[in-house]
Amino acid sequence: MIPVPASPFPVTRWTEVVNVCRSEDPGLRAKALDELCRDYWYPLYAFARRQGNDRESAEDLTQGFFHYLLRKDLFAAANQETGKLRTFLLTIFQRYIGDARARDTAQKRGGGKELVSLDLDEGEKRYSLEPADRVTPEELYDRSWAIALLSGSLAAMARNEEEQGRGKHFEKLAVFLNATTIDDGDYDSASAELGMSTVAVRKAVSRLRQRFRECLREQIAATLKDPDEARVDEELMALKSVLRGG
């Protein structure tokens, strides 16, 4: 069991986004949505593609959706929705896609101006690598969301390790976060490269995995409206199930 700090989780991404998007300052709202888009746009794009939309339509829908979200009244009922940012965004996106007027807004993209920055070429490349199986749009969205959280956790750890002067060690040891691909020879190789004993490498890997688990829980908590240990556990189990394929 991961040690649980006595203090509650910090202010979450959910809270920040909802509060800022209710702001009267359009600049603050645009900045908040840009940050949200940066982290979570691909799951929405993948959802639109898996629904049968072609690349251009999915791009328009994804771009247009974040323009649509800039209307602060969309978040006015956020407290009445589920407390998960993952579910909230997908629910609103589904409504948006199903609304003919929203589709028209998506095609216009706010009068031809892109309000958020998306690497759509990279998004389509990623989508082309998705398995051509019977995964539903909702399942692909959830899986992409889980991967986004894992990637965000890894990036946050990399920044922290670099700030602590352990960047080079992290580069060598990050591969050990996936225990299923590791054997004893990998520990010996890392030992030689880092000038550490094999025992020291194993201890360092154990600490790294512990920090990663904690970081992932923080990433998950940031997407919940009222995070506590039980809700984080519930979301973590749901995302693990998605990654296992059911």
Give the mean pLDDT of the chain: 80
3-class secondary structure, 224? strand
Instruction: Locate 26 and state its tokens.
Output: 């359009």
Contact yes or no for 12/227 (Cβ under 8 A): yes
Query: Residue type for 210, please?
Result: Q
Q: What is the pLDDT of residue 7?
A: 33
Count the helices and strands in the chain (H runs, E runs).
11, 0
At 135, the pLDDT band (50, 70, 90 cuts) reads: confident
Which pLDDT band holds residue 80 (cuts at 50, 70, 90)?
Answer: very low
Q: Which residues pair with 224 in a beta bridge?
A: 84
pLDDT in tens, 157-172: 999 999 999 888 899 9
Model pLDDT, residue 6: 35
At 237 the pLDDT is 94
Continuous segment of H or E residues that includes residue 146:
helix 137-163
pLDDT of residue 124: 85
CA dihedral 185, 186, 188, 194 (to 10 degrees): 170
pLDDT tens digits for 87-131?
Answer: 888 988 998 898 845 556 555 554 444 556 677 788 888 888 887
Average pLDDT over residues 233-245: 90
Least confident of 13-17, 120-124, 177-181: 13-17
Q: What integer pLDDT is reported at residue 73 of this predicted model?
A: 58
pLDDT reported for residue 22: 66
CB 120 within 8 A of CB 56: no
DSSP class of 124? H
Residues 6 or more apart whose CB falls under 8 angstroms from that of 127 comprise 45, 46, 49
Between residues 84 and 198, which one has the greater pLDDT?
198
- pTM here is 0.77
Which pLDDT tens digit goes with each residue over 32-69? 777 778 888 999 999 999 999 889 889 888 888 887 77
Does the pLDDT value for residue 180 go beyond 90? no
Share of the chain above pLDDT 90, in %: 37
What is the percentage of the chain residues whose pLDDT exceeds 70? 77
Q: Which of 179, 90, 99 is nearest to 137 (CA)?
A: 90
* Residues of the chain by 3-state class (helix, strand, coil), percent to 5: 75, 0, 25
